[in-house]
A and B are shown apart, each in its own frame.
Chain A
Amino acid sequence: MKTLEELKQMIHEKFEIDTATLKPDAPLADYGLDSLSLAELLFTVEEHFDVDIPDNRQDVNTLASLAELIDGLRVPQHA
């Protein structure tokens, strides 16, 4: 859950979207994120969490799936 909260905070800081309105399973498009702003978000995510999101996994469309993806990518680094 910690990753999800960090993500919410990041989206709030980057796009000024109220964290209270961010739902884990709602499509990111619902908040006005299009393919361009999603690309920016993923870049920031990579910088912040020090992960490298593979090209074939860049189709995430909810916060929950993005958090899951990040956690999955971070596990090997901590091992």
Chain B
Amino acid sequence: MRRRVAVTGIGLVSPHGETPDGVFDALLIGLSAITRWDEADAAPAAVARAPFDVTRWFTRLQLAGVDRVSQFAVAAAEMARADAGLNTLDEGTGVYLGTGMGGAAAIEEAFRSHQISGRVPPLTVPAFMANAAAAHIAMRAKLHGPVFTYSIACASSAVALAEAAKAIACGEVDCALAGGSEALLQPSALRAWQAMQTLATPALDDPSQACRPFSADRTGLVLGEGAAVLLLEAYDAALARGARIYAEFAGSGISCDATHLTKPDASGQARALAAALRNSGLAPGDIGYCNAHGTATRIGDPVECEALGRVWGDALAGLAVSSTKSMHGHLLGAAGALEAAISVMALHRRALPPNMHCEQPDPLCKVALVREAGMAAPHLRAAISNSFAFGGTNAVLVFRRSD
């Protein structure tokens, strides 16, 4: 017996702020949170920073050995719980968290101080280890259930959400905090991404338009930071307590290309898309919106469109597609969770955020892009969110309206 799963809480630390409605409103009008990153002796880049006041969540004493990535995660988890109308969580609640890099600030500081003085701060290891963020969430909320970390590059938090929903569906846990956190806007991490020739080259006058998914003139991705955590719970339990249900977590599909470490593969992505439809019991025509992976790299965007075309076939024209990375950048290990939250909000609000900065779509990207801001979607019933990772793992999440 598979239980239904409800999304009842959303917690965000994002480039567009922290309230689900506020973030969605900003995206709906096409507001970009991307700004310029300047560092001595380095090529300029565009980034999407999350405004964040750590003093709301931690005292200075509590901050010993707590990296920014864990600070984001704790804040997002606490906000998800509160947003679900819960003062406390059952101690059996699970934590399923994705992160790509872990504590990037701690790593940066460790190497810096190693070079300068040969002495490394004593809490470097607990600060940067990948599972620190999930552990901090569990300690803060006193959760003794499964506390898992998923590090699957750009699919980390989408997989974390899929795994959490499965655990609820099969009765392993009744409630879960699931999502992702990423905070790697550090000089060396940024240079490493620059060295891979994947980052967008920002225009000198207006970095806010640097990320142009599916556009003929796109130049690459923009790194962002933040965290997104969803509170998932058994659907019947959510109904019984009279909770506001944003949407139902309808299913997921996961696959691995097993072809190349960084080159995307349409066949692998199509397998994940088809698996997601099967798993959720929905047909292409049921899905009204796709929050695309759409990182705005030359190679990635057409491959995603090809995969969508293979699975959707003639129904592709009825699938509205946008990559909100055009406004919030690529949050890597937190991208899947932030974009899942946006997809859930699209269903909840019945409106579609636009795919910005794409005046001239790439002819190879034959999908129905959401080209206008503020688009209402009165008949929207179900949506998918795509996350395709370095390493070849593809994750597709499916949400549907609860009514």
Complex CA distance for A16 and B65, rounded to whole angstroms? 16
A38 to chain B, nearest CB (A): 9
Complex CA distance for A15 and B62, rounded to whole angstroms? 8
Chain B residues near A31 (CB, 8 Å)? 61
B64 to chain A, nearest CB (A): 4
| Interface residue B126 (Cβ < 8 Å from any Cβ of A) | yes
Q: Contacts A40-B121, A43-B121 given: A33-B126 contact, CB under 8 Å?
A: no
B60 adjacent to A16 (CB under 8 Å): yes
Query: B residues engaging A (CB < 8 A)?
Result: 59-61, 64-65, 119, 121-123, 126
A36 adjacent to B59 (CB under 8 Å): no
| Interface residue A37 (Cβ < 8 Å from any Cβ of B) | yes
Given contacts A32-B61, A37-B61, 4 further A-B contacts (CB under 8 A): A16-B59, A36-B123, A36-B126, A40-B123
A15 adjacent to B60 (CB under 8 Å): yes
| Interface residue A26 (Cβ < 8 Å from any Cβ of B) | no
Q: Contacts A43-B121, A43-B122 given: A36-B61 contact, CB under 8 Å?
A: no
| Interface residue A48 (Cβ < 8 Å from any Cβ of B) | no
B127 to chain A, nearest CB (A): 10
B61 adjacent to A17 (CB under 8 Å): yes
Complex CA distance for A17 and B60, rounded to whole angstroms? 9
A-B CB proximity, top 8 nearest: A37-B64, A16-B60, A39-B122, A15-B61, A40-B64, A15-B60, A43-B122, A32-B61
Complex CA distance for A11 and B65, rounded to whole angstroms? 16
B148 to chain A, nearest CB (A): 23
In A32-75, which residues have CB < 8 Å from any B CB?
Answer: 32-33, 36-37, 39-40, 42-43, 46-47
B374 to chain A, nearest CB (A): 44
Chain A residues near B119 (CB, 8 Å)? 43, 46-47
Chain B residues near A40 (CB, 8 Å)? 64-65, 121-123
Chain A residues near B64 (CB, 8 Å)? 15, 36-37, 40
Complex CA distance for A78 and B47, rounded to whole angstroms? 49
B109 to chain A, nearest CB (A): 12
Chain B residues near A46 (CB, 8 Å)? 119
Complex CA distance for A33 and B60, rounded to whole angstroms? 11
Chain A residues near B121 (CB, 8 Å)? 40, 43
Chain A residues near B122 (CB, 8 Å)? 39-40, 42-43
Chain A residues near B65 (CB, 8 Å)? 36-37, 40
Complex CA distance for A36 and B61, rounded to whole angstroms? 10
A21 to chain B, nearest CB (A): 13
Chain A residues near B59 (CB, 8 Å)? 15-16
B254 to chain A, nearest CB (A): 36
B6 to chain A, nearest CB (A): 37
Complex CA distance for A32 and B60, rounded to whole angstroms? 11
Complex CA distance for A39 and B122, rounded to whole angstroms? 6
B60 adjacent to A14 (CB under 8 Å): yes
Chain A residues near B126 (CB, 8 Å)? 36
B205 to chain A, nearest CB (A): 41
Complex CA distance for A55 and B59, rounded to whole angstroms? 28
Complex CA distance for A14 and B63, rounded to whole angstroms? 10
A53 to chain B, nearest CB (A): 11
Nearest chain-A residue to B117 (Cβ)?
A47
B327 to chain A, nearest CB (A): 36
Complex CA distance for A47 and B121, rounded to whole angstroms? 10
A62 to chain B, nearest CB (A): 17
- Provide 19 A-B residue pairs closer than 8 Å at the C-beta atoms, listed in order of the A residue: A15-B61, A15-B64, A16-B60, A17-B61, A33-B61, A36-B64, A36-B123, A37-B61, A37-B65, A39-B123, A40-B64, A40-B65, A40-B121, A40-B122, A40-B123, A42-B122, A43-B121, A43-B122, A47-B119
Chain A residues near B60 (CB, 8 Å)? 14-16
Nearest chain-B residue to A40 (Cβ)?
B64
Chain B residues near A36 (CB, 8 Å)? 64-65, 123, 126
A16 adjacent to B123 (CB under 8 Å): no
